């Protein structure tokens, strides 16, 4: 009997050790997974029971119950300043235009607050929202439906896609399951989930009204910042919105658009309205595009975007008369970038792009959304027409150095707040890079946001930061932790440029 007891105890202890080791291995593996792979692991361990689409009388209770816990309320604090280099205009303009509710306006010495929504996409705290929700933020707080509150840091953001990826320090959070926006059909039932008009979690229903909409709203912030006229015509903004009549209002921005199965198909981003409130037309960024962008943020801190290397005009009756073509659909190539991907593939000015991967190009969203999901070095098959004859060529996308628009501001703050206000994204320096520079630690500044403290003081992208406030740093979390050591509102930075010797400099938070 005694031997049996010892054997049983040994079995229990062995089982506990095995489970613990497996959990440790699982957590280690999670660090190297993409966000989509993390979701697959989550749902393998937490089956949903198979929510099915409604038929007959619509019933969205299961979908609403599954999604609502994973949609968060985002509250941002902004100092009452005018954006430098914005050419005038209030820092609240974008929040009002894109319905991220400003809750108070005070004098320039007091902070203002605004709010929006966000979607948890990974149980360890990654949250996707709109860029315009957080781009003015000094401090970002995230509140769940169970009233838990976390302070968030910005992992990456980009105005051309109006997307941002946040991170909170938490585990086992409820998430919203990725869907397939390519499979969405016009007339399909959808739900919009968010925090409109300062209300708590709200679910509304409607249908998909249209796909591939371009409404020009992402160009507006660039015009407001003094964008030249010729640059407006060649905007890098990507719009291919899902249009819905589900009720969304100010504050819904960054929230979830889901199908009747509770799957995330879009990030609610804008409304078209003469009054600024709901008028029947809402727009969401397709999740198949958003997934690629936030994955880039997580891996690189910025968007790795491939370019075809052409400027084009959508075909219209006026264009047909102007250039003498008969085509109804397609994109007319105005110019080809010298040394770009299109030139290498033989495409010339005056050609008409008619198909991408065998699918007809009806307008610019058909090309832009597809290309925006890819990275430099990826290949696409483009069909173009010249002299009445079509030809299909393989185009290898090329990269282009870009900076995203952003504004952050100084004030004495927490580590997360300082991290956000520096206006930079960080990615770990690889072992080869460390050996090349002769350093033992380091993060690479992958992006410097316009208006941030780093940009103001001329800190350049590519700098390998080895220490902050005397603390070695190897990833974004360690950067944040080191910023907590900031004294007298001065951040001490040690780094190595791509070519050069070690540099040390102080960055004042109040300037």
Active-site residues, by number, are 132, 162, 253
Query: Whole-angstrom Cα distance, residue 474 to residue 495?
Result: 12
Here the tokens at position 426 are 């960080």
Torsion of CA 487, 454, 285, 223, to 10 degrees: 130
Q: Sign of torsion, CA 383 385 390 395?
A: negative
- CA-wise closest residue to 279 among 250, 239, 258: 250
The three-class DSSP label of residue 164 is strand
Task: Name the phi and psi angles at 394, rounded to 5.
Answer: -90, 125
CA distances from 389 to 276, 281, 342, 352 (A): 47, 40, 18, 10
CA distances from 277 to 16, 192, 242, 247 (A): 56, 15, 18, 10
Beta pairing class for 264-271 and 282-286:
antiparallel
Find out whether 195 and 252 touch, Cβ atoms under 8 Å: yes
Query: Whole-angstrom Cα distance, residue 44 to residue 210?
Result: 33
Find out whether 395 and 377 touch, Cβ atoms under 8 Å: no
Contacts of 455 (CB under 8 A, 6+ apart): 423, 448, 449
- The DSSP string of 360-406 is E--SHHHHHHHHHTS-TT-EEEEEEEETTEEEEEEEE-B------B-
How many CB atoms are located within 10 Å of the residue 151 CB?
15
E-strand spans in 245-288? 256-259, 264-271, 282-286
Query: Whole-angstrom Cα distance, residue 400 to residue 333?
Result: 19
Find out whether 255 and 193 touch, Cβ atoms under 8 Å: yes
Task: Name the phi and psi angles at 87, rounded to 5.
Answer: 75, 30
């Amino acid at each position: 009997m005694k031997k049996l007891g010892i054997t049983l105890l040994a079995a229990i202890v062995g089982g506990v050790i095995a489970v613990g080791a497996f959990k440790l291995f699982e957590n280690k593996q999670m660090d190297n997974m993409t966000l989509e792979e993390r979701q697959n692991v989550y749902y393998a361990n937490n089956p949903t029971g198979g929510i099915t689409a409604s038929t007959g009388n619509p019933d969205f209770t299961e979908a609403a119950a599954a999604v609502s816990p994973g949609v968060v309320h985002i509250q941002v604090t902004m100092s009452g300043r005018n954006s430098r280099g914005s050419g005038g205009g209030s820092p609240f303009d974008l929040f009002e235009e894109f319905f991220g509710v400003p809750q108070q306006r005070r004098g320039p010495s007091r902070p203002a607050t605004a709010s929006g929504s966000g979607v948890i996409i990974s149980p360890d705290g990654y949250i996707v929202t709109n860029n315009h929700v957080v781009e003015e933020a000094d401090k970002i707080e995230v509140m769940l439906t169970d009233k838990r509150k976390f302070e968030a840091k910005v992992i990456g953001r980009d105005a051309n896609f109006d997307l941002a990826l946040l991170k909170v320090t938490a585990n086992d959070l409820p998430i919203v399951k990725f869907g397939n926006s390519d499979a969405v059909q016009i007339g399909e039932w959808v739900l919009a989930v968010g925090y409109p008009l300062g209300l708590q979690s709200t679910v509304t229903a409607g249908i998909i009204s249209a796909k591939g909409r371009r409404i020009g709203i992402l160009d507006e912030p660039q015009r407001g910042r003094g964008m030249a006229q010729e640059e407006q015509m060649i905007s890098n903004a990507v719009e291919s919105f899902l249009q819905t009549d589900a009720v969304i209002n100010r504050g819904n921005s960054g929230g979830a658009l889901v199908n009747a199965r509770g799957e995330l198909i879009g990030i609610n981003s804008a409304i078209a309205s003469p009054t600024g409130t709901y008028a029947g037309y809402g727009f969401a960024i397709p999740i198949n595009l958003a997934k690629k962008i936030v994955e880039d943020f997580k891996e690189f801190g910025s968007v790795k975007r491939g370019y075809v290397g052409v400027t084009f005009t959508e075909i219209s009756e006026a264009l047909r008369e102007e250039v003498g073509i008969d085509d109804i659909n397609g994109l007319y190539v105005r110019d080809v970038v010298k040394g770009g991907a299109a030139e290498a593939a033989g495409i010339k000015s005056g050609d008409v792009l008619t198909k991408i991967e065998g699918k007809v190009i009806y307008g610019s969203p058909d090309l832009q959304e597809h290309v925006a999901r890819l990275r430099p070095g990826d290949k696409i098959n483009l069909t173009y027409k010249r002299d009445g004859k079509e030809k299909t060529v393989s185009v290898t996308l090329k990269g282009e150095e870009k900076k995203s628009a952003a504004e952050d501001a100084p004030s004495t703050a927490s580590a997360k707040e300082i991290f956000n206000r520096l206006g930079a994204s960080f990615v770990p320096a690889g072992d080869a890079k460390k050996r090349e520079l002769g350093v033992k630690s380091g993060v690479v500044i992958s992006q410097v946001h316009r208006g941030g403290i780093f940009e103001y003081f001329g800190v350049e992208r590519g700098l390998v930061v080895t220490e902050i406030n005397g603390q070695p740093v190897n990833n974004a979390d360690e950067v944040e932790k080191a910023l907590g050591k900031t004294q007298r509102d001065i951040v001490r930075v040690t780094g190595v440029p791509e070519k050069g010797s070690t540099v040390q400099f102080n960055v004042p938070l109040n300037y």
